Amino acid sequence: MDKDILSVIEAASPGFSKGQRSIAKYILENYEKAAFMTASRLGQVVDVSESTVVRFAAELGYDGYPEMRRALQDMIRNCLTSVQRIQVAKELMESEDIVSLVLSSDIDQIRQTMEEMNRRDFESAVDRIVKAKNIYIFGLRSSSALANFMGFYFNLIFDNVRVINGTSASEVFEQILRVSEGDVFLALSFPRYSRRTIKAMRYARDMGADVIGITDTPASPIAKLADIALFARSDMVSFIDTLVAPLSLVNALIVATSAKAQGDLYSNFEKLERIWDEYEVYEKTDV
């Protein structure tokens, strides 16, 4: 559904029942809160049954309530400031078991990511990474943790990996100055999307590199610039975005590329084990 969900609700309002009109009114006035409510919770707030909320989503043309809620989330996630996120989360979590709420959300994000994954795009990304002349990995802010994690393991598999770091635009472009045709540029960004990441992607693409984006939805500016886009769900939890599903996707890329890599992975790790042992990298424990 391409239309803004609020416009869809307003257009459908004349045909709503009394209960559906109550739901519509609440969402139109409190969409930033409704976007993170379960069907049951929204029903309680509006004083209608959960089944009425589910039917409301179907009436709007969504496959179910979760799809309608995702449409609301996609609309607002890149617009809310951190302060607004905290205010929304505080109201939603006051009467909730926070541990269960967050862990259940993370489980749901991984499940949705797995169900929605385009296997052909995933395999194509793996092939391009394995065949790349150089592999550039770039993620800023919270996505830097994902980029560094990917870079750590890719460095154990390949000898041509460059994790891009930098606090300024000039530092970033100095590190990707020589990116060219035959290289792969992996860009990771989730709401709120990094403008510097987008600029670096444009440069890499203009230089002829294959650009692979790892982001949350096809509407993301990262997806629009990438030759191949891989998606992982990353819903908002308080002032942070959960990166559990993106990390799981990164894990899958690491495992898949290691299986296809041309080098001798076994001999690489055999050598590393000798080095780790000689230089006492790890604490020895009795088994």
pLDDT tens per residue across span 241-264: 689 999 999 999 999 999 988 666
Every domain of the chain with CATH number 1.10.10.10 lies at 5-76
Confidence (pLDDT) at 176 = 94
Tell which phi-psi region holds residue 130, choosing left (phi > 0), alpha (psi between -120 and 50) or beta: alpha
Taken as a whole, the chain contains a residue count of 287
Contact criterion met (CB below 8 Å) for 55 and 63 = no
Residue 147: per-residue pLDDT: 96
CATH of span 116-278: 3.40.50.10490
pTM of the predicted protein model: 0.73
Specify the CATH architecture of the domain 5-76: Orthogonal Bundle (1.10)
Instruction: List CB contacts of 82: < 8 A, sequence separation 6 or more.
Output: 239
What is residue 84's predicted lDDT score, i.e. its pLDDT? 65
Q: What is the pLDDT of residue 79?
A: 62
Low-confidence ranges of the chain (pLDDT < 50): 1-2
Q: What are 72-99's pLDDT values in tens digits?
A: 877 776 566 666 666 666 665 555 667 7
Q: In the chain, which segments carry CATH 3.40.50.10490?
A: 116-278
**For 139, phi and psi rounded to 5 degrees?**
-150, 135
Could you tell me the CA-to-CA distances from 195 to 72, 139, 162, 230 in Å, in that order?
23, 11, 20, 19
Phi, psi for 135 (deg, rounded to 5): -115, 115
pLDDT at 1: 42
